[in-house]
Amino acid sequence: MNLVLVECKKEYWEFVRLLRTNSQIQEGFFSFAEITKEQQEIFMSKNHHRYKICLLENNPVGYVGIINEQEITYCVHSDFSNQGIGTYMVREFTKDSKNFIAIVKQENIGSQRVFEKLGWQKHIYFVKKMNFNETCNYYNTDKGDKHPYGNGYASFYDPVFSEMRSKHITLCEIGVEQGNSLKTYYDYFPNAKIYGLDIADKKVFENDRITTRILDQSKEKDLDEFLNFCDSCNLQFDFILDDGSHDVEHQQLTFGKLFRLIKPGGFYIIEDLGSSHFVLGVELYGNVQTQRKINNNTIKFLSQRPFDSFWISKENLSYINDCVASITIFDTCNKYLPYSKEYECENGYPLRSITSIIKKKG
């Protein structure tokens, strides 16, 4: 490949601006850059000597430069990525000096490889306190907004969770799957004791602060056993989050039984209320939507007062009616989920990401 680095003359300033503001390329950078032509003119007239342009057969394909005195920055046009152009630019640009540094995003593996290939070593870990949504995205749980089927719930939880972030809380999640949300809690809540309940054995995710338990939330017996276990060790939770079967019957059965385990002022979260809109026959985790579930769905249950449910005992209903302080339902209006015929919803609507935060009286 016939590559050459040339001065960043005025004719290339617009190329640099378009590259830096390109949406495909933004992800690799720490900050989103909104640069106008005028701003670029002003910036480049002062700083063009810090940049070089990489030409391939006389056409610009990337730039490399210095920011903040010694930090190297580079960018390759997306049509020419993975062809060694980044490596070429960094090698040529830095060959006469040893005093450069580069700050590379943890997820930007391509750039890390470029520097490592040239003998650069990881020297500093850039530590950033991530919010709950960012932590979810880091561990690839679908509560975040970056997962391919992300529900985007995490930003609704952020204000609530950030209040208890550093406290010695106890939390419980129903539905463990690959352990992504347990890892998220472990990282985000450094002092939390975490319980993960699942129909399947998830012991593999246990550690010093994570405990798991097999529990089928469709079975009264399992829920009662868990209540007895909690009573026997005086276990109460700052929050319980139901991300298990998503079946409306199980959601209400579980809430009816476990709400009394929430500490005063704590929270009970029921995720994926989109299942309340499933049409007859839709199946999830082997549970089929029935007419009774449609008529008594969880969104209806949470919306009516006094609380009444086909699947909750009179005694538990009375407790819930006395102890619920507020309920907030968050509906992403299908911002995140792709349309899927598999989970067909009433009125021909696509499946929506809906979650709820139920606050207990203090």
Ligand X SMILES: C[S@@+](CC[C@H](N)C(=O)[O-])C[C@H]1O[C@@H](n2cnc3c(N)ncnc32)[C@H](O)[C@@H]1O
Which residues contribute to the site for ligand X (CB under 6 A)? 141-143, 173-177, 180-181, 198-200, 215-218, 243-245, 250, 285
Is the C-alpha dihedral spanning 196, 202, 205, 206 positive or negative? positive
User: Which lies closer to ligand X via its Cβ, residue 135 or residue 181?
Assistant: 181
Shortest Cβ 190–ligand X spacing (Å): 19
User: Which lies closer to ligand X via its Cβ, residue 64 or residue 199?
Assistant: 199
User: Which lies closer to ligand X via its Cβ, residue 243 or residue 344?
Assistant: 243
What is the distance between the alpha carbons of residues 245 and 261, in angstroms, rounded to a whole number?
A: 20
What is the distance between the alpha carbons of residues 62 and 275, in angstroms, rounded to a whole number?
A: 48
User: Which lies closer to ligand X via its Cβ, residue 53 or residue 172?
Assistant: 172
Shortest Cβ 298–ligand X spacing (Å): 15
Shortest Cβ 355–ligand X spacing (Å): 12
Shortest Cβ 228–ligand X spacing (Å): 18
Question: 53 pairs with which residues across the strands?
Answer: 6, 63
Shortest Cβ 140–ligand X spacing (Å): 8
Shortest Cβ 95–ligand X spacing (Å): 46
User: Which lies closer to ligand X via its Cβ, residue 217 or residue 252?
Assistant: 217
The token pair that represents 200 in the structure block: 């399947």
User: Which lies closer to ligand X via its Cβ, residue 49 or residue 292?
Assistant: 292
Is the C-alpha dihedral spanning 331, 333, 336, 337 positive or negative? positive
User: Which lies closer to ligand X via its Cβ, residue 94 or residue 245?
Assistant: 245
Shortest Cβ 99–ligand X spacing (Å): 44
The tokens 């040239």 sit on which residue? 118
User: Which lies closer to ligand X via its Cβ, residue 54 or residue 136?
Assistant: 136
User: Which lies closer to ligand X via its Cβ, residue 142 or residue 238?
Assistant: 142
Shortest Cβ 6–ligand X spacing (Å): 49
What is the distance between the alpha carbons of residues 104 and 69, in angstroms, rounded to a whole number?
A: 16
Shortest Cβ 55–ligand X spacing (Å): 47
The neighbour count for residue 14, using CB atoms within 10 Å, is 14
